[in-house]
Amino acid sequence: MDENVLLALGLTLFAGMATGIGSALAFFTSRTNTKFLAWSLGFSAGVMIYVSMVEIFVKAKDALVGEHGESTGYWLTVIGFFSGMVVIALIDRFIPSVGNPHNVKTVEEFHMEPTHDEYARLKKMGIFTAVAIAIHNFPEGIATFASTIQDPNLGIAIAVAVAIHNIPEGIAVAVPLYFATGDRKKAFKWSFLSGLSEPIGALFAWLILLPYLTDTMFGMIFAGVAGIMVFISLDELLPAAQKYDQTHLAIYGVVSGMIVMALSLLLIM
């Protein structure tokens, strides 16, 4: 097996399993470090936006222009970019609000003892959230895999950014299930399983897409990946950071993420 394939599969597994870190944080801490979490979410958004617009979009355009000429290639890149946004927006649109992982919670909110009537609702919310996160993580797995195959350094940066934003999603799955069932193991298991769709997406890309990865296919996938990541950053990461009332720290995190990503790309030139 090609070394890049092994690295790509390993990175997507790492990113997906970060939901388990969120579970652990929720179970073993009594307070949310909102400043760090807001900065981290902003940092992840900064990495995603910068790498999408400066690196991934450009690679997609180069591949498509090389195959189809300047005008057609650029048009295909733009179409692929906004198609990625439409795909992830449709996924969000059809996920019930009770299970939408964008509705980020703090640890403190889950440490309040529910009433008897709330147990069923909490269990339903936790399961819906796990399913929603699994759906979101599938295209992220494809994105991380495809990026790593093309450029391992780029894949590592994307995997780290995805892993950071998976941590609060793990909290959103595990804690309501824990309070509904009283079973930490069951709650952790659901959180763990929701992250598995990340490497499943990578396996899909490897087994189904890789044999057909022509320059045109690669360019369209990369353009779509760029759109997905920008949409996730604007629709999920930044609003989630702002919910912690740490807007300035979130923006500082965005700038820090962009700087780190820019420096890393410069250093590997």
Whole-number CA gyration radius for the chain: 19
Instruction: Extract the tokens encoding 48.
Output: 């995603």
Q: Rounded CA gap, 22 and 33, in Å?
A: 12
70 is in an annotated binding site: no
Say which residue the tokens 């790498």 belong to.
51
165 is in an annotated binding site: yes
- Start-to-end CA distance of the chain, whole Å, equals 27
Report in angstroms the alpha-carbon separations of 67 from 61, 109, 220.
10, 53, 12
118 is in an annotated binding site: no
137 is in an annotated binding site: yes
Q: Rounded CA gap, 83 and 224, in Å?
A: 6
Say if CB 110 and CB 38 are below 8 A apart. no
Say if CB 249 and CB 38 are below 8 A apart. yes
208: enclosing H helix or E strand? none
Residue 180, C-beta contacts closer than 8 angstroms, at least 6 positions apart: 114, 119, 120, 122, 123, 126
**Which residues are annotated binding-site positions?**
137, 140, 165-166, 169, 198
**Which residues are annotated binding-site positions for Zn(2+)?**
140, 165, 169
**Which residues are annotated binding-site positions for Fe(2+)?**
137, 140, 166, 169, 198
